[in-house]
């Protein structure tokens, strides 16, 4: 996730652009840059870190311009650096582009363009777009037509904006799967990844649709589809209050991030082809030599690892040890040298996880990290890294990072199972197809948010909550409890369904909310018996299942090992609504920090 801003019109747009970038910093803040038209052509300024650093350069340069595009970055391909930050240029510095999304065929494009003599300056996927436009401009002089031909060659997701030295005042844009909205002013147009970037200047917004291309000048915004047919798009009047608009109109970042999950998992899954080398950097030969796995993480990321244990053991038949990093690092482990170490961390900076990873590395193990922050310390200490592509997670309570971590680990489980010969090609293909559909299943699950809100209203006065799950859904019970306790400050505990009769059932009291996860499958009946046991003691049962069951919350049906990724969504919503009804400070719960960098 990155943020794009643009302006063309009669005003000096420097303040507009800087203000717009600051409003979009929630989408990325590892570097920022601006391409502005001035008398001699296009000038570019870039800075690593927050937009404030770019602003200092812009102010020092006394920049003035009437047409500019800019970008605040959340690195996906290539570490945060000046070279990798946007805007990117063609070889002559005449075309500048900013991009949000992932260009999936950038490798092929880069090879092809390099063979034609193009020189690439960055490690990004995005730069290919600038060189492609340059190449198309050799065939025809019209900037918009050349831009459109270049866009047709892109695969993947993009919100793309470009300017060209020989077409002053013109911004060309294209959208597919990444957001792009145009703001309409008087004799001026704005462009942004999200409305708050221009809401202080105009509340008239044109939301582009996938496949749209637009040519924007100060006096007109012409929209076409990829076939060149003119499109008409509604001008919407936005009634949001600029102060809450950064949260996309949501009350808190947490609920916004819960609803971001279809996009976050889609962006993550788009980088995970059914090929262990391409998705994880591990060669098939190396994958076949792996005899077991240590998965180490903290908090929510630990729950993702614990869930992966069930999935990997089931599909790949490999032994998996999962532990919280704060315990793992103090154990005297006789490390198995042919086991792979996996660190899971949203921030990539968690001190306990890093210490555990360093122990494993010192013992001579290879390490794979699954992180959300490009270039973070844990990624630098690892042999292999796979990123979740969630964009910044602002709320302290992790939600979208969790489902994306689960997606990466699920893909890993299937890929390693295939390489180890424990999953036949046909079964693998079928499971992978189902996996690719996950984002739309999450979207479907989110449609039941109102049902969860009603359930929250029925239980929020309780001071104690129990979550039950078995098998791969057991870690989701732990995660549901963690989510609720960290933002509501209420007592919540997760148990394995079969374990409650060994003690915890003693605390079940009349009216106590018990959330039971019961996917259709081998343990469905067993889970229903656990429900009866607590129900008979007066518990207020909330069942989450994937099969019709009276009064239950139903998520779409999938194989039992994908169920956890869907089942956690109602639990996140429940935690959110209960805490909101309790009037808690949801995005910044007391005593907690987003990233725990001390051991
Ligand atoms: C999640 O809601 C928590 N805030 C916390 O448990 C978190 O998952 C944990 O501290 C690990 O952080 P990391 O993923 O950045 O390593």
Per-residue pLDDT reduced to its tens digit, 392-405:
888 999 999 999 99
Check: CB of residue 279 under 8 Å from CB of residue 384: no
Is 289 annotated in the active site?
A: no
Which of these is catalytic: 2, 89, 172, 307? 2
Mean pLDDT, the chain, rounded, equals 94
Per-residue pLDDT reduced to its tens digit, 70-87:
999 988 888 889 999 999
- 332 C-alpha to center of ligand 1: Å? 25
Confidence of residue 242 (pLDDT cuts 50, 70, 90): low
Task: With a cut of 80, say whether residue 572 has pLDDT above it.
Answer: yes
Check: CB of residue 442 under 8 Å from CB of residue 261: yes
- 595 C-alpha to center of ligand 1: Å? 7
Q: Cα-flanking dihedrals φ and ψ of residue 518, to 5°? A: -135, 75
Residue nearest to atom 8 of ligand 1 (CA): 300
591 vs 471, which has greater pLDDT?
471
pLDDT at 489: 96
- 296 C-alpha to center of ligand 1: Å? 12
- What residue ranges in 1-87 does DSSP mark as E strands? 3-9, 31-38, 41-48, 67-73
- Residues in contact with 264: Cβ distance below 8 Å, sequence separation at least 6, in sequence order: 388, 389, 390, 391, 400, 401, 403, 404
Q: Which residues line ligand 1 (CB under 6 A)?
A: 298-301, 345-347, 350, 353, 396-398, 486, 595-596
Task: With a cut of 80, say whether residue 224 has pLDDT above it.
Answer: yes
Q: What is the DSSP letter of 177?
A: B
Per-residue pLDDT reduced to its tens digit, 501-547:
899 999 999 999 999 999 999 899 999 999 998 999 999 999 999 99
Residue nearest to atom 9 of ligand 1 (CA): 299
**Mean pLDDT score, 206-226:** 96
Residue 249 CB coordination number (10 Å): 14
Can you give the pTM of this predicted structure?
0.79
Task: With a cut of 90, say whether residue 25 has pLDDT above it.
Answer: no
Ligand 1 mutation pick, 305, 343, 349, 350, max ligand atoms within 8 A of CB: 350
**Mean pLDDT score, 259-268:** 95
Using CA of residue 7, residue 13, residue 19, residue 25, what is the dihedral sign? Answer: positive
Residue nearest to atom 5 of ligand 1 (CA): 299
Give CA torsion, residues 34, 39, 42, 45, to 10 deg. -40
Per-residue pLDDT reduced to its tens digit, 130-146:
999 999 999 999 999 99
Confidence of residue 245 (pLDDT cuts 50, 70, 90): low
Is 67 annotated in the active site?
A: no
Per-residue pLDDT reduced to its tens digit, 420-439:
999 999 999 999 999 999 99
What do you get for the CA distance between the two ends of the chain, in Å? 30
């Amino acid at each position: 996730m990155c943020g794009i801003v643009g302006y063309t019109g009669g005003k000096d747009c420097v303040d507009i652009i800087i203000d717009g970038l600051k409003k979009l910093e929630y989408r990325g803040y590892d570097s920022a840059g601006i391409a502005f038209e001035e008398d001699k052509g296009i000038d570019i300024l870039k800075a690593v870190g927050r937009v404030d650093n770019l602003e200092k350069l812009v102010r020092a340069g006394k920049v003035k311009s009437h047409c500019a595009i800019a970008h605040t970055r959340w690195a996906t391909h290539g570490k945060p650096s000046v070279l990798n930050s946007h805007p990117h240029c063609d070889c002559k510095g005449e075309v500048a582009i900013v991009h949000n999304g992932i260009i999936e065929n950038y490798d092929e494009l880069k090879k092809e363009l390099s063979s034609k003599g193009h020189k690439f300056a960055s490690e990004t996927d995005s730069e290919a777009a600038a060189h492609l436009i340059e190449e198309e401009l050799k065939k025809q002089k019209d900037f918009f037509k050349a831009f459109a031909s270049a866009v047709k060659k892109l695969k993947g997701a993009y919100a793309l904006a470009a300017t060209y030295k020989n077409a002053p005042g013109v911004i060309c844009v294209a959208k597919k799967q990444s957001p792009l909205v145009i703001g309409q002013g008087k004799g001026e147009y704005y462009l942004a990844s999200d409305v708050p970037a221009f809401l202080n200047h105009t509340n008239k917004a044109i939301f582009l649709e996938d496949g749209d291309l637009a040519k924007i000048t100060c006096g007109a915004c012409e929209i076409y589809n990829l076939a060149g047919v003119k499109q008409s798009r509604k001008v919407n009047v936005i009634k949001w209050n600029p102060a809450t608009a950064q949260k996309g109109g949501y009350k808190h970042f947490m609920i916004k991030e819960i609803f971001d999950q279809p996009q976050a998992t889609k962006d993550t899954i788009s980088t995970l082809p059914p090929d262990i080398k391409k998705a994880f950097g591990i060669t098939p030969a190396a994958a076949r030599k792996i005899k077991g796995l240590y998965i180490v993480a903290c908090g929510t990321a630990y729950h993702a690892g614990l869930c992966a244990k069930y999935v990997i053991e089931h599909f790949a038949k490999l032994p998996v040890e999962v532990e919280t990093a704060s315990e793992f690092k103090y154990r005297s482990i006789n490390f198995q040298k042919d086991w792979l170490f996996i660190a899971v961390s949203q921030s990539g900076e968690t001190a306990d996880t890093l210490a555990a990873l360093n122990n494993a590395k010192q013992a001579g193990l290879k390490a794979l990290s699954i992180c959300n922050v490009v270039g973070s310390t844990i990624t630098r200490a690892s042999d292999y890294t796979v990123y979740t592509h969630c964009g910044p997670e602002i709320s302290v309570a992790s939600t979208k990072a969790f489902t994306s971590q689960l997606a990466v680990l699920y893909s890993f489980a299937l890929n390693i199972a295939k390489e180890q010969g424990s999953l036949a090609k046909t079964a693998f293909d079928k499971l992978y197809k189902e996996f690719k559909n996950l984002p739309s299943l999450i979207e479907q699950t989110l449609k039941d948010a109102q049902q969860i809100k009603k359930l929250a209203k029925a239980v929020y006065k309780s001071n104690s909550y129990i979550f039950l799950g078995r098998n791969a859904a057991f870690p989701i019970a732990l995660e549901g409890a963690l989510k609720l306790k960290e933002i509501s400050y209420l007592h919540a505990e997760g148990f394995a369904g079969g374990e409650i009769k060994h003690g915890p059932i003693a605390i079940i009291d009349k009216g106590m909310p018990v959330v039971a996860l019961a996917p259709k499958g081998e343990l469905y009946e067993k889970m229903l018996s656990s429900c009866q046991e607590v129900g008979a003691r007066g518990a207020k049962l909330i069942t989450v299942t994937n099969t019709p069951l009276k009064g239950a919350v139903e998520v779409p049906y999938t194989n039992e090992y994908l169920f956890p990724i869907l089942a956690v969504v109602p639990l996140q919503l429940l935690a959110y609504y209960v805490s909101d009804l309790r009037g808690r400070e949801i995005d910044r719960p007391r005593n907690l920090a987003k990233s725990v960098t001390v051991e």
